[in-house]
Structure formats: structure tokens, C-alpha cells
Amino acid sequence: MSIFTKIINKEIPSTIIYEDNKIIVIKDINPKAKTHLLIIPKKEIPTINDLENEDSTLIADMFFVAKKLAKDLWIDEWYKLSFNVWEKWWQEVMHIHMHLLSEL
């Protein structure tokens, strides 16, 4: 079970910014920017390489949540979205997540 699944199950604490039945958004515990959120699907998918066709709506939903939060947080004219894939490219947690970063 990933650390993010434990967060989703409320077994370990986090600062939850948004939650619906498929996605949770938390503050990154070690922020690399003034705003640093993690948009995490509740389905535990290890890496982007493990995506299946059936996940396409879920991935699209992650982008729509990012768009909504950027607008809600007034950072929609200056933010960055990123995924790290595999450890060589700095993926620490093997449960896919989108980083939303902004210096605003």
C-alpha cells in the first residue's frame, strides 16, 4: 500500500485541499514552491507507464481538478503541472500524482 493510499484512507494525516470519489488533493509535505499541491487518483496506479485505457477519464479528471484549483486559488495565470516517472526521474512515491506548483 502506498503512502498516498494511507493518506486517502485517513490512516496518516495530511492537509486536504480537495476530495471527490476519485481524486484527492493534498499539500506537499516538503513544498518546492509557495503553492505545491499533489493531485492524486484514489486508484493506486504505480507509474504513468502502468496506465490502462480504462484510466483515461481518471487522468482527464486530474487535469480538470488542477484547472479548477488553479482558478479557485487565483494562480490560473502562472502555474506548472508535472509528473515524475520512475525513480531515475525523481518519482519517490509509486502511486501516480500530478504536482501543481506556483510561486503565486
Distance of alpha carbon 63 from alpha carbon 70, whole angstroms:
10
Rounded least distance, CB 77 to ligand AMP, Å: 24
Q: Is 11 exposed, middle or buried (0-12, 13-18, 19+ CB in 10 A)?
A: exposed
Region of 48-56, 61-69, 71-79, 90-98 interacting with ligand AMP (CB under 6 A): 90-98
**Judged by CB under 6 A, does residue 1 bind ligand AMP?**
no
Q: Is 95 an annotated catalytic residue?
A: no
For the chain, counts of helices (H) and of strands (E) = 2, 5
Rounded least distance, CB 52 to ligand AMP, Å: 20
Q: Is 93 exposed, middle or buried (0-12, 13-18, 19+ CB in 10 A)?
A: middle
Region of 40-48, 55-63, 65-73, 88-96 interacting with ligand AMP (CB under 6 A): 88-96
Torsion of CA 80, 50, 38, 71, to 10 degrees: 50
Residues between 10 and 49 that touch ligand AMP (CB under 6 A): 14, 26, 28-30, 38
**Active-site annotation, residues:** 97
Contacting residues toward ligand AMP, per CB under 6 A: 3, 14, 26, 28-30, 38, 84, 90-93
